Structure 1
Amino acid sequence: MTGPVPLAVVQAIAPSTTVTVRDAVVDLMRRFGMTSVFANPGSTELPMFRDFPSDFRYILGLQEASVVGMADGYAQATRNASFVNLHSAAGVGNAMGNIFTAHKNRTPMVITAGQQARPILPFDPFLSSAQATELPKPYVKWSIEPARAQDVPLAIARAYYLAMMPPRGPVLVSVPVDDWDQPAELVPGKVVSTELRPQPAVLQQIGDALDASDRPALVVGAAVDRDNAWNDIVALAEAHNARVFAAPMSGRCSFPEDHRLFAGFLPAMRERIVELLRGHDLILAVGAPAFTYHVEGAGPHIPAGARLCQLTEDPDTAAWAPVGISAVGSIRQGVVDLLARPGRKERPLPPARVAAPRVEPSPLMSAAFALQTLAEVRKPEDIVVEEAPSARPVMQAYLPMTRSETFYTMDSGGLGYGMPAAVGVALGKPGSRVICLVGDGSSMYSIQALWSAAQLRLPITFVILNNSRYAALQDFAPVFGFSATDVVQGTELPDIDFPSLAKGMGCAARRVSDAGELRDVLAHALDSRAPNVVEVRIA
């Protein structure tokens, strides 16, 4: 599946048949192409799934954060909103970390949450959600508990359109348990445009600045790949001989990392961004904020003598950009319009990025050697879903992504996304081999996803880089005044037996400590076409 089913589909229920809220919602889900339901069941959701349609599938997650992570990966892989069902306040609360990530990832997602029956809501009943619409805010685009049962189908239709409207994101509809059997009407089909072209006058200013520059640089973010603009951004960079940097904390790969014009990755630090962009007289951020920061900084946001322009699908991002010109609208349409301009300036090729030196094996295996080996075993079309924060700079040096839609991570920085997202991506791209690259600490946030992968027999290789610690926190501690000899409390993770955990959930598993064994173990896991866990012990 690559998108929603056309809305002109014939209604599945004859007009003479008595239609319930459940019937009307199922009809909508079928027409929107949302026939995979990602869920963890609770009592207030059971009536929704009575007489479950034979053309639908129920994807069970063992915890709500895993459910939303799977739905996120699936929605990104299929480019259509996913459908999620959660259990009242407790389920939404458990899921909030990955709802936040879906919000940051701009992932379209229709979430329904169960609610107690309407007649007992005034008595604050057990398992009710007292403020159902407020609970997920501000990390959903819209939330509602319809005033009447008959309003539920229209609310879900509106939720779908809003989820798919740029900037995309999750929405939530709270549905009381007694609504599903109430009479309702089918929702008429309609077409809603979700592609907005950037304002021509503003785009012309950006194009004029780009054409006039001597040393332009592009900073590309996740929205380039989300909006199917990969080939267009490559063409724009080549047309202007512009160096291309990946934006800080980007959740997708949006430019081939082996390309002659690729210059590397910007960190989330103001001073370092300015240093790396020094020498460029125009900086065009495409599909990314300008810029995402992680620590407090000082000084200018761009180098002296440079001009900042931005093309974004998000008006909020344009509003907080500190300087420059911002065009808001479809990334792909904006880049296509910039490519259509005539008379480009001739520029020499900028300096090439220096390749990372080859790593040799050592008694205590390094993350660099592990990822270099994975890069040699992996095929370019294999998909990587990553959640290994401390190893990310190493990954960026030794595991290049070279094709569109082959890399996914979280824009949020919140853990617990990677393992379930890999399940969702594998479901959304059947036939593709998926590699989930995850740290030992990260893996424990949503380890339940291994069970779903095993039950669904998905071709996922979970590579757990185990350094027995929260290395990202230890590495980050000096920023907050820790000395090299200080103990960072709560960051040691000894004695986790990942092969035993994996086998207990139905996945084959191996632990590798010897660098000489790693290549064969990874190759076997990738070729097995079944879920495998490879725990790699690293220094």
Structure 2
Amino acid sequence: MVRESLLVTRLKQLDADGLERSVGGGGKSNPLAGLFHRSDGSLDAIACAETLISVGPDAGREEIAEFLLRSLGEAGFAASRDQLSGIARHLADEIAGTAITLTGAESVALLLEHAGTYAVFAYAGTSELALCDSCDRAAALRLMNGRGDKESAFMAAGASLLQPRRGAAILHGARGLTNAAGAVADARRNEAGTVFIVGLPSTGSAAFLPPHGEAGLLPAIGTFTDWWWQAPAVPEDGQARARAAYTFVNKFTEALAASARLPARPAMFGIPQDVAERRWIPFDAVLSAPTGQPVQGVGKDAPAEAVDLLRQARRPLFLVDDYALRFPEFAPALDGLTRALGAPVLQLRYRRGPMLFERLRPEHVANFIGWYNQFSTAHAALLNECDLLVTVEDRNIYRRVVGDLPPCRKIALTGDGPKARKNGYLTEDDLLVEGDVTALLRSLTEGLKRGSDGRRWFADSTAKASCVTPEPAGELVEHMRTRVVDELARTLRGWDRPVLIDDSQMFGGLISERYDLLPPELRVFGGHGGFVGGGLACAVGLAVADPGCRVLCTLGDQGFTNAFQGLVAAVQEKARVLFVVCNNGESVSLKKQASASDPTWFGGGTRPYLTNPPTMDYTLVAEALGVPSQKVRIVCGPNEPAIDQTAEAMGKALAEAAQTDGPALVELLLPAEPEAWLGIWLTQGFEQQAPERN
């Protein structure tokens, strides 16, 4: 773990006034004082530990002094070498002469930065103040006030979407964690690899719960994670305390490893207030901790049986769930195998609830032919004709979502076997192979030992079948949809490393219909947990944790209503997020669902239960929180030029918003009439209806 550059950066950030205010009145003559001492003049254990990790734990005074002197020089301090040498030697004597003992909170901060965590989000309460302070002092961590526990949890999940454990959250136990329970569950459903650190009441308060906490809190909320642990009280016996210190450190390392293992999951680590604040963990315990690297997935080499099934198949077909796209280098690995087999690739499409997720592209996988469309006779024929169906990273390929699968042999390639088994399509004759799906695909390709592309058994024309629908919209509606997505795509194409986070339903469905208009390099994250209002905070977390990205967050009106508290942190952190709110005046999806279930519900749509509150103005709310905002109305007629005019206004608003140094918002006023949303949102699952193929 290299810390020299971090120390140099810290030194460069200090201004003259800051130096004069440093501990001991050292000012410019002692620029290291404020970095290595607390406000009471004592050494900062975190800064000392970071230094020893940088130069080596066995380093003596001379090595420490040389490290500090070199850092001062690189930071541009113009004093003579003799002057700087004196400063460095004095501090080196202090560090080398001190036996470093850490608090529980300081140990957590050091382990987080050692694991590569960058962004830590918190909405501090009494029990976690020590945790917040320690993370704030750590050189490699950036502590941010999420302005809410739920928001902090979502921000940590968002920060960890592109890179597991890039973000973490400190939550208050019990009220903060209970407030954030939905976010914890959503992070698990969306496989966001983050760590939730819960500051619990002191162990001495345990007998009096509540009001200081809730009995069984972590075991209860821990059901939403795959890993959790709660630290016990610090033992008073010296030997027992030493053993407990190593256990504490090792358990937190386990949490870090569990959260980064693909398929990623959140981990939860509970720390009572007294355990966090007490100085009881020897530096050696942190220094000797395991690396916290994720355990590699099992089954990296595909079994010979899977290779034999692929070799014997004449018409194999691959059906992919979007979770597979989280694995690094997945698309090239899938492309190599399906080219070798001449096999078509389809991707599961979600048709109600959240509907926009990352999708494969023909530019990346040559045999990819689009979303799987149960209403297409061409796609139905493909499934009927295939003699081997290979599902990849299945989470939701069950009958209600996908319809009937062919009776042929099947192989399920997955990082989470139970998720595939629960969907009920695998029989004793089928094969489930669990492990890193990228490695499995490469292993299968190598096992086939084919040097050239296999002959395709499917027609290229099947790619057009993804657009077939039993509920076609009119030409003007289709034109409006194309123009809206066109303008979004135009904005995204101008960004480096664009990311789209969707927290809408109907709007996301509209965009997914025209996914091919989006730029190929775009990363897309939807909400598998169906938590309306989580995407806004996720987008903020990702933007601040990875400043090299530019984030577009598409929101429904209800998603905005449930989430706008997160805009406070967005403004505070200057998060580079462009929020696009689809305001169609009401819950179009639920009105459509209600009408299909019973046309008399809510007075046949006349009562206002599912309409937006008439006094709510999304643009004014955002502006009041400091977010520059614009409002644009999109129409469906009376003709194409009228639609084009409003789309051009939308494009101009997006372009202006994209120039903002920080968050910006564009509200799109879209029609609520059912005709504008035909073909989007199914009111029945595929186990309830026979698809009308054409």
Normalising by the residue count of structure 1, what TM-score does the alignment of the two structures yield? 0.87
Give deviations 1:59-114, integer Å, cap 9, x for gaps.
22122222111111111122335321111121111112221111111211211112
Instruction: Establish whether residue 454 from structure 1 lines up as the match of residue 571 from structure 2.
Output: yes
1:202-213 equivalences under 5 Å are 202=303, 204-213=304-313
CA contact (8 A) 1:78 1:428 kept: no
- Equivalent residue for 2:484? 370
* Alignment of structure 1 residues 247-396 onto 2, 5 Å: 247-249=348-350, 252-256=357-361, 261-266=367-372, 277-289=383-395, 291-292=397-398, 301-304=404-407, 306-322=408-424, 323=426, 324-340=430-446, 341-343=448-450, 345-348=454-457, 350-352=459-461, 353-354=463-464, 366-379=480-493, 381-396=497-512
Other-structure match for 1:80: 165
Q: Quote the offset at 1:422 in angstroms.
A: 1.0
Aligned-residue offset at 1:403 = 3.9
**1:434 and 2:551 aligned:** yes
The 8 Å contact of residues 550 and 576 in structure 2, kept in 1 or not, is answered as: yes
Identity of counterpart residues, as a percentage? 20
CA change 1:197–1:18 in 2 (3 A) is closer
Instruction: Give the number of the structure with larger relative contact order, counting CA–CA contacts within 8 Å between residues 6 or more apart.
Output: 1
Counterpart CA distance in 1 for 2:204 and 2:124 is: 22
> Are 1:53 and 2:150 counterparts?
no
Q: Larger % of helix: which?
A: 2
**Aligned: 1:156 with 2:261:** no
Deviation, structure 1 residue 345: 4.1
1:122 Cα shift?
0.4
Partner Cα separation in structure 2 for residue 267 and residue 114 of structure 1:
47
Is 1:419 paired with 2:536? yes
**1:486 alignment counterpart:** 604
Quick one: structure 1 residues 335 and 41, their matched pair in 2 at CA, closer, same or farther if it must change by over 3 Å?
same
Deviation per CA, 1:121-177, whole angstroms, max 9, x where unpaired? 102242313212223132111222222334543332221122223432112122111
Q: Name which of 66, 69, 86 aligns with 2:154.
A: 69
Pair member with larger Rg: 2
Residue type at the aligned position of 1:486? G
Which secondary structure does the structure 1 equivalent of 2:570 belong to? helix
Residues in 1 aligned to 2:361 and 2:109: alpha-carbon distance in whole angstroms: 40
Partner of 2:654: 522
CA gap 1:122/1:291 in 2 versus in 1, 3 angstroms: same
Contact 1:268 1:294 in 2 (8 A): no
**Is 1:17 equivalent to 2:113 in the alignment?**
no
Contact kept? 2:166, 2:545, Cα under 8 Å: no
Alignment check: 8 A CA contact 2:557 2:582 kept: yes
What TM-score results when the alignment is normalised by the length of structure 2? 0.69
* Cα offset, 1:512, TM superposition: 0.1
1:261 alignment partner AA: N
Change (3 A) 1:393 1:85: same
Q: CA deviation at 1:420?
A: 1.0
Contact 2:262 2:327 in 1 (8 A): no
**Structure 2 stretches of 5 or more lacking a match?**
1-5, 7-49, 58-94, 235-244, 634-645, 672-694
Q: Which runs of 5+ in 1 are unaligned?
A: none
In structure 1, give the amino acid aligned to 2:361.
P
Question: Where does residue 224 of structure 1 map in the other structure?
Answer: 324
Instruction: Give the match for residue 79 of structure 2.
Output: none
1:293-349 alpha-carbon deviations (Å, 9 max, x no partner): 657x9xx84124x33211110121243242132100011110111221213742255
Distance 1:275 1:289 in 2: 24
What is aligned with 2:688?
none
Task: Report the counterpart of residue 122 of structure 2 in structure 1.
Answer: 39
* Superposed displacement of residue 457, structure 1: 1.6
* Matching residue within 110, 126, 131 for 1:27: 110
Residue aligning to 1:106: 191
Asked if the contact 2:568/2:625 (under 8 Å) is kept, the reply is yes
Structure 1 residues 328 and 356: CA distance shift in structure 2, 3 A: closer
Matching residue's letter, 2:564: I
Contact map agreement 1:224 1:287 (CA 8 A) in 2: yes
Deviation at 1:385, TM superposition (A): 0.8
Could you tell me how far apart the structure 1 residues matched to 2:261 and 2:659 are?
A: 39
Distance 2:631 2:111 in 1: 46
Amino acid at match of 1:317: K
The residue type paired with residue 526 of structure 1 is: A
- Report the Cα distance in structure 2 between the residues aligned to 1:165 and 1:516, rounded to whole angstroms: 45
Deviation of the 1:245 alpha carbon = 1.9
Q: CA RMSD in A?
A: 3.5
Is the Cα contact below 8 Å between 1:61 and 1:448 reproduced in 2?
Answer: no
Pairwise CA distance, 1:402: 5.2
State the one-letter code of the partner of 1:225: L
